[in-house]
A and B are shown apart, each in its own frame.
Chain A
Amino acid sequence: MTLYIIGIGGTGSKCLEAITQVAATGLFSEEKINLLFIDADETNGNLERSRNSLSIYRRTFDLMSGDKQQYPWLKTPLESYDVWSPFGNTNANKNLGTFFNYNNLKQKNPGLGNLFDVLYTKQEQQVNLDIGFRGRPAIGSGVMSRVDLDSLDEEPWSSVIGQIQADVGAGKSVKIFLCGSIFGGTGASGLPTIGRLLDNKLEKENVREKVKIACLFLLPYFGFTPKAGESKDEVYARSEQFLLNTEGALRYYVNQAEQFDRVYLLGNQNLSQFNFSIGKNTQRNETHFIEFYAALAARHFSSYSPKRQEKVVLISRDKNNTIAWGDLPEPEVVRAELVNATRFVYVWLGNIAPELADARKMGVRKFQNAAPWFGKFYSAGGGLFGNRDLPDFNQANQQEAIRVITEWCQDYLRWILDIHRCDGDDIKLFNYSVLEKLDGTVKSDELSELVVGDKRDKGSKAADTVQRLKQRLLDTSNITPPNQGTTGLAKSLYMLCRL
């Protein structure tokens, strides 16, 4: 099975970020996931952060390559087609008028030109769209509808379609998952349009029956207040119109969602408040738990059985304003992997990474006497002792590996902390107060207090310490390669962090 995930607009890119983080915990299979971002605003802050998380993932994935049977961390290869903008390589003015060649239209076909004037205000026709469609689905739809996948030779579409055809030809089942907001600009316009275009193109290539297409519509889950001084005549997204946009879009989709084999809907009645931004790199909204659910929806789609008939998939939670483990789909499975990853991050950032920094300062030989686990992964730097077959800790590649893994941990920590900071909702997955201390060596060992609702007995929790994990690092005989150097240390630790 090959999975293609297309994130449309800023919210779509946030969903892809969540998918990247969730994939890292091993919640997807080992089948490759292909990611494509679609956004007219290529400098969008949300998009930039997602691309950054993805590149961190891929660097860490390449580092930790090898047998993944023993542990699920980073087992899913993620390929990226990067960003596609509906404006293509156009360097000309990115406004609706130029895109539709308004002046020419008005001259040669006045009727159409007048219709254009009825559909779009002068401001909407002239506003610069290089920061996105400004929360106006009507603008986005106009641009998106001009996309013709048949004549689109440019990347990435030629690669995407070509790869889909190759996968189908090789007998693989192919699934395409589109995600974006139903209430914004790019997502609201792109979801139905790109979905329809893909459906038509795959139909034309006679592969549509072998491909499943799903769409995740994110309903409103945040709002913002424009800055004082912003003119009401200016063209920008208005959060007070989100619900109205949603209502209109859902009416459309009741009868016009035939191109999708499955539809996911996600939203939250408690709207988080984000800072207003008109677009570009200041549009960097905090991570929200809804995007985490979006990633789980993608996971659900990638693994769902064709025998199930449900076309629309919904989920609810036990208590309003609260998200607990039981509110997640397949809670036992999701919890196990998320807890494993988060415990690893806690131990790596809170203890191991600072210890490895100390090893550089103290010198390997002196450090190793006070940290016997170190000698299981690194050589003793010459002398009589230690295993000379092990990598030298001070080698550049080992130090680079430490940096890469630490970077992944920091990115994952940022994401999981942001989810717990959701405005208006109480997220009861991990203890925020324990995780937020990870800005240096943890002064007290709170590993056993990390997970909310941890039902282990007192004895088990008392024995669950960083010290005990490091003691268990002394016996790595059952770990298959990579089991040396930094990668071996990280892999061993990840396995030991499993509850």
Chain B
Amino acid sequence: MKATEIIRIVIFGFLGFIFMFFVQPWMYENRIIPIKDVPVGEWLSDSYTTGAGVVFAVSILATVVWYVLAANAKVTTAAETDRWRVIWWVLLLLPIISICLGISPVFNSSKDALVSLTGFYILDAIVILYWLPTGTSSPSLLMYIPPGARLLRGIFGG
């Protein structure tokens, strides 16, 4: 496992954390995205934080699981390596399920926030916390398995 790979995962994790627990709540609090059906402060401290925490944790878990599995993968041919695409897409289900939970009435009591929250969670969970880290930091022979990995590595290095 390369140090640079781990560092990139940590950086994207940190970025996701900042977005989810500082930037997005700030946008709701300052009415950049207005919510009228529930008190914003209450909603943020009760529903949103818990839901965002679940989405964050599950997405990070999916990324870590992918990295650990990929680092220990026994692949000697391109055909064997190619089969790992299926595993990547299967693991993507975890963030997707967490998003569904996060926007459900269990963790979201505001219908006004539904669309924006869905959009934020997709950006956070799928893009920042799963796709970017796996696309830029998958170990050696699986480095190009996540979709668009070659483009991402061209942009972010690695």
Q: Do A and B come from one complex?
A: yes
| Cβ of A323 to closest chain B Cβ, rounded Å | 31
Q: Is the CB of B76 within 8 A of A367?
A: no
| Cβ of B98 to closest chain A Cβ, rounded Å | 28
With known contacts A368-B144, A471-B140, A362–B78 Cβ distance under 8 A: yes
Contacts of B61 in A (CB 8 A): none
| Cβ of A35 to closest chain B Cβ, rounded Å | 39
Q: Is the CB of B81 within 8 A of A466?
A: no
With known contacts A372-B141, A372-B143, A467-B141, A385–B151 Cβ distance under 8 A: yes
Q: Is the CB of A470 within 8 A of B141?
A: yes
| Cβ of A161 to closest chain B Cβ, rounded Å | 54
Distance between Cα atoms of A359 and B78 in the complex (Å)? 9
Contacts of B74 in A (CB 8 A): 467
B34-80 contacts to A, CB under 8 A, are 74-79
A370-392 contacts to B, CB under 8 A, are 370-374, 384-385
| Cβ of B152 to closest chain A Cβ, rounded Å | 11
| Cβ of B1 to closest chain A Cβ, rounded Å | 12
Contacts of B144 in A (CB 8 A): 368-370, 372
With known contacts A371-B141, A372-B141, A467-B141, A358–B154 Cβ distance under 8 A: no
Residue of A nearest to B153 (CB): A385
Contacts of A374 in B (CB 8 A): 78
With known contacts A351-B77, A465-B76, A467-B76, A385–B154 Cβ distance under 8 A: yes
Contacts of A471 in B (CB 8 A): 140-141
Distance between Cα atoms of A370 and B78 in the complex (Å)? 5
Q: Is the CB of B150 within 8 A of A474?
A: no
| Cβ of B60 to closest chain A Cβ, rounded Å | 25
Distance between Cα atoms of A372 and B74 in the complex (Å)? 15
With known contacts A467-B74, A467-B141, A471-B140, A370–B79 Cβ distance under 8 A: yes
| Cβ of A281 to closest chain B Cβ, rounded Å | 39
Is the interface on chain B under 10, 10 to 19, 20 to 34, or 35 or more residues?
10 to 19
Distance between Cα atoms of A371 and B143 in the complex (Å)? 9
| Cβ of A159 to closest chain B Cβ, rounded Å | 49
Distance between Cα atoms of A351 and B82 in the complex (Å)? 16
A428-485 contacts to B, CB under 8 A, are 441, 445, 465-467, 470-471, 474
Q: In the complex, which of the residues A359, A370, A374, A384 has the most CB atoms of chain B within 10 Å of its own CB atom? A: A370
Contacts of B76 in A (CB 8 A): 351, 445, 465-467, 470
Count of chain A residues with Cβ under 8 Å from any Cβ of B?
Answer: 24
Q: In the complex, which of the residues B76, B140, B141, B149 has the most CB atoms of chain A within 10 Å of its own CB atom? A: B76
Contacts of B75 in A (CB 8 A): 467
The answer, yes or no, to whether B20 is at the interface (CB within 8 Å) is no
The answer, yes or no, to whether B129 is at the interface (CB within 8 Å) is no
Contacts of A373 in B (CB 8 A): 141
| Cβ of B63 to closest chain A Cβ, rounded Å | 20
The answer, yes or no, to whether A355 is at the interface (CB within 8 Å) is yes
Contacts of A465 in B (CB 8 A): 76
Residue of A nearest to B143 (CB): A372
| Cβ of A344 to closest chain B Cβ, rounded Å | 16
Residue of B nearest to A374 (CB): B78
Contacts of B78 in A (CB 8 A): 355, 358-359, 362, 367, 370-371, 374
B126-149 contacts to A, CB under 8 A, are 140-141, 143-145, 149
Residue of B nearest to A475 (CB): B140
Distance between Cα atoms of A470 and B82 in the complex (Å)? 15
Contacts of B149 in A (CB 8 A): 369
Contacts of A358 in B (CB 8 A): 77-79
Q: Is the CB of B143 within 8 A of A370?
A: no
| Cβ of A313 to closest chain B Cβ, rounded Å | 45
Could you list which residues of chain A lie within 8 angstroms of chain B, going by C-beta atoms? Answer: 351, 354-355, 358-359, 362, 367-374, 384-385, 441, 445, 465-467, 470-471, 474
Q: What 8 new A-B contacts, CB under 8 Å, besides A368-B144, A470-B141?
A: A351-B76, A369-B150, A370-B78, A370-B82, A370-B145, A371-B141, A372-B141, A372-B144
Smallest CB-CB A-B distances: 3 pairs: A370-B78, A369-B144, A370-B82
27 residue pairs from A and B, CB less than 8 Å apart:
A351-B77, A354-B77, A358-B78, A358-B79, A362-B78, A367-B78, A369-B144, A369-B149, A369-B150, A370-B81, A370-B82, A371-B78, A371-B81, A371-B141, A373-B141, A374-B78, A385-B150, A385-B154, A441-B77, A445-B76, A465-B76, A466-B76, A467-B75, A467-B141, A470-B76, A471-B140, A471-B141
